[in-house]
Amino acid sequence: MIGACVIWGSSPLYFSMLVHVPTGEVMAHRVIWSLVLFLGVLAVQGRLRALPAAFARPGSRLRLTAAAFAVGSNWLLFLIAIATGQVIQSSLGYYIFPLIAVLIGTLFFGERLRALQVAAVALAALAVLILTLGLGVTPWFSLAIAGTFAVYSALKKGLDLPPMVSVTAEFAVLAPFAILWLVAVPSATPAFGSDAATTALLLGSSLVTAVPMMLFTSAARRVDLATVGVLQYLNPTLQFLGATLILREPFTGWHVLAFSLIWTAVALYCAATLVRRRALPGARARL
């Protein structure tokens, strides 16, 4: 679990080495090579037949397609944030994602908000308001990244498929669009094959995508949900540290105030998760 979160949190540093490549091209290669890798894993596991079966039911087919576009939008926004020097906004988005997910659960799945969760959501909203007023611009990247991943999580909630199969299916949905992009919007000098380093980085983007997902899927079956809920914040924390200490993105007093509220909201959210898990001592995460 920690390994998955560390890779996710460090991924902006990896993709920052590809800022010389058009974002759409990076996204396309990430999708295509990730699909190749996941198909290989399913082939080794002898589960390739599960892929067409996943699309057999109309309900699953619709959810998989919607989930693919939601997570694809999330990845594209993430890559744009890196290319435009807005990794701090990206980290903020992944901090507030669980809080938006809580709201979606309340509005669409009838889940009840606890007092600590209400306080956490209110603090997150206040943090966004402070950034909007202080910087004179709404943190749209943060809200869009959090929103698309929350929608993705909500869509996955109703899917009764093994994680590896559903993720591979999502890549299969996105792959034709990735190929179409490479064909219809060719670069003056295509990055893939232009030099060994860039080609290796584009191929390696599949590992940066697939390995943490595999580690997370494996660990989540053994780790209780409270631990998963707490460790997921390692990702945006590492993104934040990388953005400020390594990528040297500007971090103003308004950011300090907003992130202080966000970290307080995170603490309240984690406390609410721990309280809930103690009330259900036998519960385990099911993925």
Q: How confident is the model at residue 258 (pLDDT cuts 50, 70, 90)?
A: confident
pLDDT, residue 286, reads 42
Mean pLDDT score, 31-36: 94
Q: Which of 9, 28, 47 is nearest to 208 (CA)?
A: 9
pLDDT, residue 72, reads 93
Residue 234 belongs to a domain: yes
Residues 6+ away with beta carbon under 8 Å from 124: 95, 96, 99, 261, 262, 265
Residue 285 belongs to a domain: no
Residue 286 belongs to a domain: no
DSSP 8-state assignment for residue 175? H
Q: Look at the chain and report how many structural domains it folds into.
A: 1
pLDDT, residue 65, reads 92
Q: Residue 88 in contact with residue 242, Cβ under 8 Å?
A: no
Q: Residue 73 in contact with residue 188, Cβ under 8 Å?
A: no
pLDDT, residue 114, reads 78
Residue 238 belongs to a domain: yes
Which own/partner pairs from 212-217 qualify as long-range (CB within 8 Å, at least 24 positions apart)? 212/3, 212/4, 212/5, 212/7, 212/8, 213/4, 213/163, 213/167, 214/41, 214/164, 215/1, 215/3, 215/4, 215/7, 216/1, 216/4, 216/5, 217/163, 217/164, 217/287
Residue 287 belongs to a domain: no
List helix spans (H) across the chain. 2-15, 23-45, 50-54, 58-83, 87-108, 115-135, 140-157, 163-184, 196-220, 225-231, 234-241, 253-279
CA pair distance 147, 70, nearest whole angstrom: 9
Residues 6+ away with beta carbon under 8 Å from 156: 63, 67, 166
Q: Which position has the higher pLDDT, 217 or 136? A: 136
Question: What dihedral do alpha carbons 21, 39, 148, 251 form, nearest 10°?
Answer: -40
Q: What percent of the chain has pLDDT over 90?
A: 26
> Mind listing the pLDDT tens digit for each residue in 204-218?
998 998 888 777 766
Q: Which position has the higher pLDDT, 263 or 220? A: 263
> Mind listing the pLDDT tens digit for each residue in 61-93?
888 999 999 999 999 999 999 999 999 888 888
pLDDT, residue 59, reads 77
Other Cβ atoms closer than 10 A to 213: 17
Residue 116 belongs to a domain: yes
> Mind listing the pLDDT tens digit for each residue in 140-151?
888 899 889 888
Residue 207 belongs to a domain: yes
Mean pLDDT score, 18-25: 91
Q: Which position has the higher pLDDT, 185 or 170? A: 170
> Mind listing the pLDDT tens digit for each residue in 230-243?
667 788 888 988 99
> Mind listing the pLDDT tens digit for each residue in 173-225?
999 999 999 888 766 566 776 788 899 999 999 899 888 877 776 665 565 55
Question: Domain of 204?
Answer: 2-279
Q: How confident is the model at residue 287 (pLDDT cuts 50, 70, 90)?
A: very low
55 φ, ψ (degrees, to nearest 5): -95, 0
Residue 273 belongs to a domain: yes
Residues 6+ away with beta carbon under 8 Å from 270: 229, 230, 233
pLDDT, residue 161, reads 82
Other Cβ atoms closer than 10 A to 103: 16
Q: Residue 165 in contact with residue 42, Cβ under 8 Å?
A: yes
pLDDT, residue 187, reads 65
Q: Model pTM?
A: 0.83
